[in-house]
Amino acid sequence: MTRTNDVTATSAGMSRREAVEQSRRGAGAQFREVKDQVVDQAKNSFREARDSATSSLTDSRKQAAERIGRIADAVRTTSEHLRSEDQPTVANLTESLADQAERLSSYLRDRDLRAFRDDAENIARRQPGVALGVALAMGLLAARFIKSSQRSGGGSSSSRAYPSRVYEYDRQPDRGYAADSGVTSGYGPGLGGNYGGV
């Protein structure tokens, strides 16, 4: 009888092991499924963000091209005015500046983002000092822009919560200095800003 009990216990033990193993496999499959879903959602979110950023950059690029084109037109008008004022040297310089601005406007209008990236990489390889200088200048401009946008948004910690007052101090020989702000201190009449006496 003990032998029959051992066989039954052994077969029951095997089924427990199999159950545990099967449970592990099931949990692993569920984990892989959840992981795949998370990865797919992350990829979709990344694609959407990339497409949105690309669209935004394309719109910004077109707006910048328009603005630079208007600047080129204004500089060209200035050049014509200088020519009419008989200042050919300065007129030639401004005409050259207008041509450069017009080329930049066309470049921004006609190129896509990959071409920008490729051109930037080529410049960085050929002239790393220029690329570093441009990156530094762009960083400074970005910092300045961020700093100025914080000020205009009212988020500056240096702004005062209370309006400042201007005090005028008059020297009075018998009483010392007296301040006249037209505001009393709240301690009674006449005590609001007088120093050294009444």
Number of domains in the chain: 2
Q: Rounded to whole angstroms, how far apart are CA atoms 128 and 19?
A: 64
Give a yes or no: residue 115 inside a domain. Answer: yes
Give a yes or no: residue 6 inside a domain. Answer: no
Q: Rounded to whole angstroms, how far apart are CA atoms 193 and 198?
A: 10
Mean pLDDT by 10 residues, the chain (198 residues): 48 66 77 84 85 81 89 92 90 92 89 85 90 88 84 51 52 56 49 48
For 14, how many CA atoms within 13 A lie in the half-sphere containing its CB? 6
What is the pLDDT, as a whole number, of residue 156? 44
Q: Rounded to whole angstroms, how far apart are CA atoms 33 and 2?
A: 46
Tell me the sheet residues that pair with 177: 171
- Residue 132 sits in the same domain as residue 195: no
Give a yes or no: residue 195 inside a domain. Answer: yes
Give a yes or no: residue 43 inside a domain. Answer: no
- Residue 89 sits in the same domain as residue 135: yes
Give a yes or no: residue 7 inside a domain. Answer: no
Cβ-in-10-Å burial (0-12, 13-18, 19+) of 63 comes to: exposed
